[in-house]
Structure 1
Amino acid sequence: MYKKLSFPLALILSGMICFSCEQKKESTSTEDGWTSLFDGESLEGWKALGGEAEFIIEDDAIVGISKVNTPNTFLSTEKIFGDYILELDLKIEDETSNSGVMTRGQYDAQKGRVFGYQVEADPKERAWSGGIYDEARRGWLYPLSLNPEARKAFKLGEYNHYRIEAIGNEIKTWINGQPVAYLVDDMDSQGFIGLQVHSIGSNPDHAGRKTYFKNIKVQTENLEPKAFEKGHYVVSTIDNSLTDYEKEDGWKLLFNGTNTAGWKSAKGEEFPSKGWTVSEGVLTIAESDGSESQSFGDIITEDMYSAFDLSFQFKLSEGANSGVKYFVTLDEKTSGSAIGLEYQILDDEKHPDAKKGKNGNRTLSSLYDLITADKQPRFIKPIGEWNQGRVVVYPNNHVEHYLNGVKVLEYERGSDEYRKLVAGSKYAKWEDFGEADQGHILLQDHGNLVSFKSIKLKPLH
């Protein structure tokens, strides 16, 4: 049995029946610092935004019911929250019923659109539940390719316990006790909490499917963050900075945002006197003639690294070419760019190099001239916007490339398959190419305007 309450009726009942008022008051009272956001009897304090999906009360849960031909619908708190810890239980019956929890949600009344941080509930094979999506704005901020172990946490057809901490500029998530996402972002400091019923378009087969929410409670004072286990990747949009968590986990900045400390020319001990500049927290190589490392030259880290997790942001100008190389030893003699494994940075649409090589292995985020990146257009930021690159080299020589949080390729350095790829590439003439025990990190001058920031590295052991 369930009970269906419209919002006006809930308000009338709350005003007319004293006993109900007392029950509501009791059910939302603070206990051990927690306040219930759902009294089990009405939807008072909530309102639907964005779409026309239905919300009812069934037993002790709020139930969202999918509806055709309506956009994403969010049952949202009327109250606005700043810093808080939110816990709730969420159940999805069918894998087609994507859902989520808006965290510091925002609403554009003119467009009738909800936007902002959403903690995902993803029952499909992708299994990105607990990841953080920027609804109707920037897209995925923390996809679960950054935390593959957490993909196992969410259980279809069962209640899953969500914990969401939104404190300061940090949002952290857990599902069933498993740490999932760690985001540092300062776009929104407050907003509503919202329960999502995802749009199903015009597909009648998906209509009427239910998502359940219960035991919804929030804490807003005397907040005590839960410890986040070490070893998890942090996505931060705060330039050239590290959280205390990252510092304790072994991360360090390779670029401090102020000067070129820790970097030098790939062709000498000094930093290039021209071409490379630091301004407003951004490291930029100037436009020149489009040649490879002939105008101002590549720069490399003073230190060398073996196994590591390297993260960086880059911004391309139109038609630009550059790259981030690793295991650069400077032992190979060349008149162009120093030799090393390269995370390609390229305007795939307008630079001719994208059509060279084999099967696109010179395109953005590819292992240059060796392995083509498998990337979806929706995870690529447009030219002139910042993209997030990442290269992980494990102690066992397994290597991964990421673009904006999504893994686009992986390979085994020194494997038979890897050596076959090298043998058929421009690197065939270099003995044991890319197999050095350690090397420098390199930022390439390819004669085009390209910028970098937030370059950080964690040694792996």
Structure 2
Amino acid sequence: MKFKLLFVICLALFPAMKAQKTKSLFNGKNLKGWQVLIGDAEFKVEDGVIVGVSKATRQSTFLATKKEYTNFILEYEMMVGEGLNTGVQIRTQFDDVKKHLFGLQVEGDDSERGWTGGIYDQGRKGWRYPLTYNPNAKNVFRKGQWNRIKVVAYENHIATWLNGVHVADLLEETVETGFIALQVHSAGKDKEGVENKWRNMTITELNTAPDFSQTTAPTISYLTNKLTDAEKKDGWKLLWDGKTSQGWRGAKRDDFPEKGWSISDGILTVHASGGGESENGGDIVTTRPYKNFILELDFKFTKGANSGIKYFVDTDLNKAKGRPLDVSFKF
């Protein structure tokens, strides 16, 4: 049996996409429609190619479109300089006051790690789809050559392809709007002057859902308290519905505690008890028992907090107030 206690999870079924107009993001001549945000690395145009020149600095430089996009198919060719790390930002924003850029990035990676086509949340959450999720795609990247990238972003669903191979399949928790940007990553002195290159950049804005039925990469989801059709088929169940106390009760009572716990915005929270063991509402348990299972959940706690997940709980053996006898995984 499989079930999930999730504050972040999945979804995905889409009809076929209607024909929509494809536009070039780069005119092949100059950087009209683009602007440099933070950093001082050089971007230039040579022979119909955008060239980003690596500079020994601690700060990355980004060349961003002046227009923002939400749902689209983005295609481009990229040549990553030897030993460099780069990427293309999508749905990205820039805080001009804090000089802070944040948003999803489609990775370009010339290192032995080989995570090109993976998805990273720049300036915010870090890796969303590292290629540890799809290790077979690590060998698709062609070092020292042009590589073809395709990105499909529609609502919460984002998928990438590298040289025709499906690399990443991501379901994000939020739908964002933002610009496209090219990155020249911060680098050491040994990488000074090494170049990243981009060409044949096109975008097709979508007003209807594309067909994701041919995706082959493992799906990773960060949606809130939802299961994908694939997860349901595999036997996963939500252990908590994200809205009510249904399926849960106090460890020493037949109903849900009236105090000490709260449910809001898809998050189940236990409140401070002043350091007392199982005080202020006590522990909560599922209303039905489980024996053989895989349990997954997301958790977060404040500084100094002490909590855990208990399993194989017997609420009758321990007579102490609010706390059953159990085996537990401590946080």
TM-score range, shorter chain: 0.7 to 0.9
Code of the residue aligned with 1:162 in structure 2: it is I
Q: Helix, strand or coil: the match of 1:205?
A: helix
The count of residues paired between Structure 1 and Structure 2 equals 306
The amino acid of 1:72's aligned partner reads S
After superposition, residues 265-276 of structure 1 pair within 5 angstroms as 270-275=254-259
Cα distance change on mapping 1:153 and 1:312 into 2, 3 Å? farther
With over 3 angstroms needed to count, the CA separation of the structure-2 counterparts of 1:290 and 1:307, relative to structure 1, is same
TM-score normalized with structure 1 length? 0.57
Counterparts of 1:222 and 1:274, CA distance in 2: 46
Measured against aligned partners, the alpha-carbon deviations of 1:148-188 in whole angstroms (never above 9, x if no partner) come to 44444434323332222221233332333223140313262
Q: Does 1:41 align with 2:29?
A: yes
Partner of 1:167: 154
SS for the counterpart of 1:68 is coil
Equivalent in the alignment of 1:318:
303
Contact 1:332 1:339 in 2 (8 A): no
CA distance 1:222–1:73, shift in 2 (3 Å): same
Name the CA shift for 1:205/1:275 in 2 (closer, same or farther; >3 Å). Answer: same
Q: Which residue of 1 aligns with 2:62?
A: 74
Whose helix proportion is higher, 1 or 2? Answer: 1
- Could you say if the C-alpha distance between residues 70 and 298 of structure 1 is closer, same or farther in structure 2, counting changes exceeding 3 Å? closer
Higher Cα radius of gyration:
1
Alignment of 1:194-213 (within 5 A): 194-200=181-187, 203-213=188-198
Task: Give the deviation of 1:210 after TM superposition.
Answer: 1.4
Q: Which runs of 5+ in 2 are unaligned?
A: 1-18
Give the deviation of 1:289 after TM superposition: 5.6
Aligned to 1:302: 288
Structure 1 residues 286 and 78, CA gap change in structure 2 (3 angstroms): closer
- Structure 1 residue 91 and structure 2 residue 59: aligned? no
Give the equivalent residue in structure 1 for 2:6.
Answer: none
CA shift digits 1:344-393 (9 cap, x unpaired): 31xxxxxxxxxxxxxxxxxxxxxxxxxxxxxxxxxxxxxxxxxxxxxxxx
Q: What are the ranges of 5 or more consecutive residues in structure 1 without an aligned counterpart? A: 1-30, 346-461
Corresponding residue SS for 2:307: strand
Q: CA deviation at 1:100?
A: 0.8
Indicate yes or no: 2:109 matched with 1:122.
Answer: yes
**Structure number having the greater strand percentage:** 2
Q: Deviations over 1:101-154 (max 9, x none)?
A: 110121233344432222222333444333332222333334444444444443
Q: Which residue of 1 aligns with 2:42?
A: 54
Indicate how the Cα distance of structure 1 residues 205 and 244 shifts in structure 2: closer, same or farther if over 3 A, else same.
Answer: same
Q: How far does residue 338 in structure 1 lie from its aligned partner after superposition?
A: 3.9
Q: Using the TM superposition, name which of 252-261 and 136-145 deviates more.
A: 136-145
String of CA shifts for 1:239-289, please: whole Å, max 9, x gaps: 323455655665432111222223345567x34545553422332334336
Superposed CA offset, 1:317-353 (max 9, x none)? 3311111245x265996676544362x31xxxxxxxx
Q: TM-score by structure 2 length?
A: 0.77
Greater CA drift, 226-235 or 135-144: 226-235
Matched residues in 2 for 1:221 and 1:187: separation? 14
* 1:132 alignment partner in structure 2: 119
Q: Does 1:262 align with 2:247?
A: yes
242-251 or 155-164: bigger deviation = 242-251
Cα gap change, 1:56 to 1:181, in 2 (>3 Å)? same
Instruction: Tell whether the 8 Å contact from 1:86 to 1:218 is kept in structure 2 after alignment.
Output: yes
Matched AA of 2:290 = M
Report the 3-state secondary structure (helix = DSSP H, G, I; strand = E; otherwise coil) of the residue aligned with 1:180: strand
Q: CA separation in 1, counterparts of 2:85 and 2:293?
A: 37
Separation of aligned partners in 2, 1:118 and 1:180 = 12
Report the more deviating stretch, 84-93 or 171-180: 171-180
d(CA) in 1 for partners of 2:249, 2:136: 38
